[in-house]
Amino acid sequence: MLPRMLATLLAFLCLWPGAVAAQEKQEKDAPVGVTHVLGFEAIKRNAKGKLSLQGGMLHFQAGMTQADLPVKSIQDVVTGVDSRRLIGGPVGTMTMLAPYGSGRFLSLFREKIDVLTLAYRDASGGLHGAIFTLPEGKAKAMKEQLVAMGVHSSTPEEPAKAEAGKEKKQ
């Protein structure tokens, strides 16, 4: 009985890292909910959708519209950090008119977001830029996947937070 239990335990321990790795890979490959800030001509600005890597293409789907970008055309991928109002858009703007400064109070509630910036070339060599915002912590995984596929990153290290409020002049 004891050897059988030991064998089962050993088999479980052997399979565990593989199972975890497979799950992590599945999570990495899963589409990420993003906001398209700008860059893809077929997609409206600030459109929300899913970004994923499929067969050497960066695929973005926002409702019925979609855009595909060959990974080999991407020249550079950079991640950054930013924040945005929890209540944004037209409703957020309307809250600015709320009485007794309550709109300003609501502005204090912000969420951290990741920014994924891509530089790519079209068929005639023209440079394009695309910017996506992602939930915090998601951009790094996307960048790692792109780098693994051969995309260059001008900031291989995690970017330091931009020093706010300091004007740099030459």
Residue from 32, 34, 53, 131 in contact with another protein (CB under 8 A): 131
Other CB atoms within 10 Å distance of the CB of residue 132: 25
Site for another protein in 111-130 (CB under 8 A): 115, 117-119, 121-122, 124-130
**Smallest separation, CB 97 to another protein (Å):** 12
Q: Position 78: which residue type?
A: V
Three-state SS letters, 91-156:
HHHHHCCCHHHHHHHHHCCEEEEEEEEEEEECCCCCEEEEEEEEECCCHHHHHHHHHHCCCCCCCC
In the complex with another protein, the residue whose CB is nearer, 37 or 51, is: 37
Write down the least CB distance from residue 101 to another protein, Å: 9
**Which residues between 147 and 166 bind another protein (CB under 8 A)?**
154-155, 159, 162-166
Q: Is 100 in the site for another protein (CB under 8 A)?
A: no
